[in-house]
Amino acid sequence: MTDSSRSRVFANVRQACRGAGEDTIAQELEALGTAPTADLPAADIHTAFLANVLKNQGSVDCVANRSGAVKALADYLYRHFRSHRLVAGNDPHLAAMPWREAGVLPRFGSVEPGEPVALSYALLGVAEIGGIVTLTGKANPAANNLLSEHHIVLVESTRLVRDMEAAWECIERESAKTGRSRGVNFIAGPSSTADIEGKLVYGAHGPRNWHVILMGDVPANALEEAHALAGR
Amino acid sequence: MKQTSHTFLDNAHTALQDRDKAARRDFMALFTPLIRNAAMDDFGHFEELRQHVKEVRQHTLDNLDHYLTRFEREALHNGNHVHFATDADQLNSIVLDICQQHSARRIAKGKSMVTEETGLNDYLKRAGLRVMETDLGEYIIQQAGETPSHIVGPALHKSAAEIRELFLAKHDLGERELAETSDMVGEARKVLREHFLKAEVGVIGANALIAENGYSMLVTNEGNGDLCANLPNVLIVCTTIDRVVPRARDATAMLRLLVRSATGQPQTCYTSFYSGPRREQDSDGPLETHFVLLDNRRTEILASDYREMLQCIRCGACLNHCPIYAATGGHAYGWVYPGPMGSILTPLLTSLEQSNALPNACTSCGRCAEVCPADIPLPDLLRDLRHDENRQKLSSSRWRLGMRLHAWLARHPGLYHACTGIGIAALHLLGQRKGSFTQLPMASGWTSERDFPAPQGKTFMHQYAALQRADKAREDKSAAVAKPPRRRARPGSGKASGERQEPGLRADWPLKPDPRRPGKTRPGTAGGKGTGKGKPGAHPGGPRGKKPRSRQSDDR
Ligand code: SF4
């Protein structure tokens, strides 16, 4: 059935199109130029990223290195759960973290019912949207992004890009190396809904809390300035 | 879904009686434009981005054969099954076939206006499947047995109290308060989580299909679409052929407009791109993925003079800014798509006979065209549909006679001005004592709801001509004082060439080429948005011919 439907749809589409050659089409598309992107709230990309994460109702931490990241994680877990447990994807960057230094007890794999915290290692952070990018796979089981109550993301400061187009360039470079991944997830905030009388509620289906830890060289006043820019 | 667009006026009348819902609509009509405007101001390059995305969308539609072929090739390469459906029934039966092949009983469904259009839920339900909408708004109306009232917020017509009652009745969860909105959201989360984990098939829509890499783009805030796309073993993406964009960066450019126009956010919480089934090294994800690409008369629209409507990105901004939508709500439109975009899509996707009331549900205020991120000239398309309605003799013969009479008069400006002058003077005389009319012959539709103010005695053209005369007399007087009198033609007055011109009309009236709509003309108003406010002469000899469009034939 769909073979003949396919032919019919394509016949109708062709009739309504101008039948230009591939080269002409490619040239015309190129000539359309690029889209304007959003201005960043700060000249420094780290500050801009952190400010936009905060605007998206995420919470943030800045740490200098992996030891700092593990300590920040331990603080976060203790603050919210009086525990040191979390679930992390099978990502080599996460496996190599000095977990024992802060007594954090990670379990590597997918979130199971009753496990409230998941940790992801982001491929990228995108300053324009205050969001992060993960690729699906063993390193990032979808359940960890979507089923936990608290989703924590570790982003290296060297992995920040300005906008979504720059992010796609990186994603395409990754794809060239490892093949197209099944899913590319841009995450920019906790799960939310305004479907009841327009009132905003967090934790519609996915995480109620979204916490980003920016790791690496970040200007000393970036965090403070980001809070001031975001007004929170 | 049973269509009731032909009874729009009755539906609207009924909707207006419900004061609570009308008050909520009024609030949303004030609130949603505020958040959209704030987001656009914050972004700062709205017009530049809108024109860029428009050009890309136009380019894509002009070359849809190329991009659709490319998308299909890439999607197959990524391991998907790609199906084409010419109409609603075909899409439904393709989806049912896939479900039956996998002996599926439970379907988790993300928000999809396309499957509303095809009535997929009822179709699957009749075949014994359990379909659960997972977007909170869609879930609420599914439980209530209703249809969406808005393309972005499908349950915004319901009060929190109604939703509370609904949940208490539908969820067998014992005694509880559900006093807060967050309690209701939490309850839906709990109920739906179970369904997500048990569903064998996930069905989602797509905001864009990317030709260069075969990914589909899914934009949500709740994350429900992603749960549908990741947890069940089979994923079916139902969308339409016009969703294709050339490159990933075209999808992200469109996304910037979409989220700001729809919800006033700079970015949605979850923007996901899915390419196909689980890879060997993956620990989760569907084992099998399908695209079902629906035509359902979109190729007819592509070939017609309404092609621009296919540029719609389904943001809902035109609904939020439309005074008719605010007054009547979405259900009055009687089908899937309400508001200005629905008043165009419904006649095109169903039939003008069934829905000719919708293009008339327009005040020609032009707000929709101003905010539409796809820059679709919605009021122009609505006017063209009204012209089609007239041509196809779908309106009453009395109305058509009136239109013919008006058209004839409008083509004889001298007579037109004389007649309106007499009419206005007469109404002035008759109404000057009370200041308004409570009844007027042939205008009961107006006077049954409100008084008609008595005119002040002179038409606009009379007053304008008088002002111009006074202006000119003043100029002549000051010229006579400054230097010896010498008559000069004023620019644009037409007097230099001895042409006679109606006072106050621009030299380029009525028509000049419209740069926004190649091959078309619009009234030569300076910098106007082309809202087509019924100005005489906008389309001499009728609106644009149905096909082929001049632009297409030029480009061939
Ligand atoms: S017609 Fe324009 S404003 Fe209306 S939904 Fe479509 S893109 Fe949005």
Q: How far B332 CA lies from chain A's nearest CA (Å)?
A: 19
In whole angstroms, give the CA distance from residue A218 to residue A44: 9
B253, closest residue in chain A (CA to CA): A35
> Within this chain, do residues B40 and B51 fall inside the same structural domain, yes or no?
no
In whole angstroms, give the CA distance from residue B95 to residue B494: 66
Q: How far B363 CA lies from chain A's nearest CA (Å)?
A: 27
CATH number of the domain enclosing B234: 3.40.50.10420
Q: Read off the pLDDT of each residue in B136-158 and give the average, rounded to a whole number.
A: 96
Structure-model confidence comparison of residues B88 and B552, the more confident one: B88
Q: Read off the pLDDT of each residue in B229-252 and give the average, rounded to a whole number.
A: 98
> Within this chain, do residues B62 and B124 fall inside the same structural domain, yes or no?
yes
Q: Is A16 within 8 Å of B189 when comparing Cβ atoms?
A: no
Query: Using 50, 70 and 90 to split pLDDT, how confident is the model at B440?
Result: confident
Q: How many C-beta neighbours within 10 Å does residue B490 have? A: 12
| CATH class, range A42-230 | alpha beta
- Peptide bond preceding B340 in cis form (omega within 30 of 0): no
For B335, the domain range is 1-44+313-395
Q: What pLDDT does residue B542 have?
A: 40
Structure-model confidence comparison of residues B486 and A135, the more confident one: A135
Which of B334, B369, B395 is the last residue in one of the domains?
B395
In whole angstroms, give the CA distance from residue B273 to residue A180: 11
> Within this chain, do residues B480 and B350 fall inside the same structural domain, yes or no?
no
A27, closest residue in chain B (CA to CA): B59
> Within this chain, do residues B465 and B509 fall inside the same structural domain, yes or no?
yes
Could you report the per-residue pLDDT of A95-134, keeping only the tens digit for each? Answer: 999 999 999 999 999 999 889 999 999 999 999 999 999 9
ipTM higher than the 0.95 cut: yes
Could you report the per-residue pLDDT of B325-335, keeping only the tens digit for each? Answer: 999 999 999 99
Q: What pLDDT does residue A1 have?
A: 52
Could you report the per-residue pLDDT of B349-371, keeping only the tens digit for each? Answer: 999 999 999 999 999 999 999 99
Question: CB neighbours of B52 closer than 8 A, spacing ≥ 6?
Answer: A32, A33, A34, A35, A36, B253
Query: Using 50, 70 and 90 to split pLDDT, how confident is the model at B450?
Result: confident
Q: List all residues of chain B from 255 to 294 with a beta carbon under 8 Å from chain A.
A: 255-256, 263, 266-279, 281-285, 293
> Within this chain, do residues B131 and B239 fall inside the same structural domain, yes or no?
yes
Given a cut of 90, is residue A62 above it in pLDDT?
yes
Which of B347, B379, B395 is the last residue in one of the domains?
B395
Could you report the per-residue pLDDT of A5-44, keeping only the tens digit for each? Answer: 999 999 999 999 999 999 999 999 999 999 999 999 999 9
Q: What pLDDT does residue B482 have?
A: 73
Average pLDDT, chain B: 88
In whole angstroms, give the CA distance from residue B12 to residue B10: 5
For A5, B250, B507, the CA distances from B421, given in Å and listed in that order, are 60, 54, 24
> Within this chain, do residues B21 and B76 fall inside the same structural domain, yes or no?
no
CB A63 within 8 A of CB A214: yes
Given a cut of 60, is residue B546 above it in pLDDT?
no
Q: What pLDDT does residue B481 have?
A: 80
> Within this chain, do residues B109 and B213 fall inside the same structural domain, yes or no?
yes
Query: Using 50, 70 and 90 to split pLDDT, how confident is the model at B485?
Result: low
Q: List all residues of chain A from 172 to 231 with a beta carbon under 8 Å from chain B.
A: 172, 175, 179-199, 201, 203-206
> Within this chain, do residues B21 and B102 fall inside the same structural domain, yes or no?
no
Q: Read off the pLDDT of each residue in B472-488 and give the average, rounded to a whole number.
A: 76
Question: CB neighbours of B109 closer than 8 A, spacing ≥ 6?
Answer: B115, B121, B131, B132, B133, B134, B138, B202, B203, B204, B228
In a domain, B166, yes or no: no
Q: Read off the pLDDT of each residue in B338-355 and give the average, rounded to a whole number.
A: 97
In whole angstroms, give the CA distance from residue A88 to residue A110: 7
Question: CB neighbours of A150 closer than 8 A, spacing ≥ 6?
Answer: A80, A116, A117, A118, A207, A208, A209, A210, A211
DSSP B433-464: TTSEES--TT-HHHHTTSPEEPP-SS-HHHHH
> Within this chain, do residues B447 and B342 fall inside the same structural domain, yes or no?
no
Could you report the per-residue pLDDT of A146-172, keeping only the tens digit for each? Answer: 999 999 999 999 999 999 999 999 999
Count up the domains in chain B and report the number.
3
Q: Read off the pLDDT of each residue in A198-218 and give the average, rounded to a whole number.
A: 96
Q: What pLDDT does residue B483 have?
A: 65
In whole angstroms, give the CA distance from residue A74 to residue A104: 6
Which stretch of A116-120, A227-231, B235-239, B428-432 has the lowest confidence by average pLDDT?
Answer: B428-432
> Within this chain, do residues B29 and B95 fall inside the same structural domain, yes or no?
no
Given a cut of 60, is residue B524 above it in pLDDT?
no
Given a cut of 60, is residue B554 above it in pLDDT?
no
Q: Read off the pLDDT of each residue in B262-267 and give the average, rounded to a whole number.
A: 96
Q: What pLDDT does residue B523 have?
A: 33
Nearest Cα residue to atom 6 of ligand 1: B312
Q: What pLDDT does residue B502 have?
A: 40
Given a cut of 70, is residue B530 above it in pLDDT?
no
Q: How many C-beta neighbours within 10 Å does residue B354 have? A: 17
Which of B372, B395, B418 is the last residue in one of the domains?
B395
> Within this chain, do residues B236 and B357 fall inside the same structural domain, yes or no?
no
> Within this chain, do residues B216 and B290 fall inside the same structural domain, yes or no?
yes
For B65, B380, B555, the CA distances from B339, given in Å and listed in that order, are 30, 15, 33
In a domain, B237, yes or no: yes
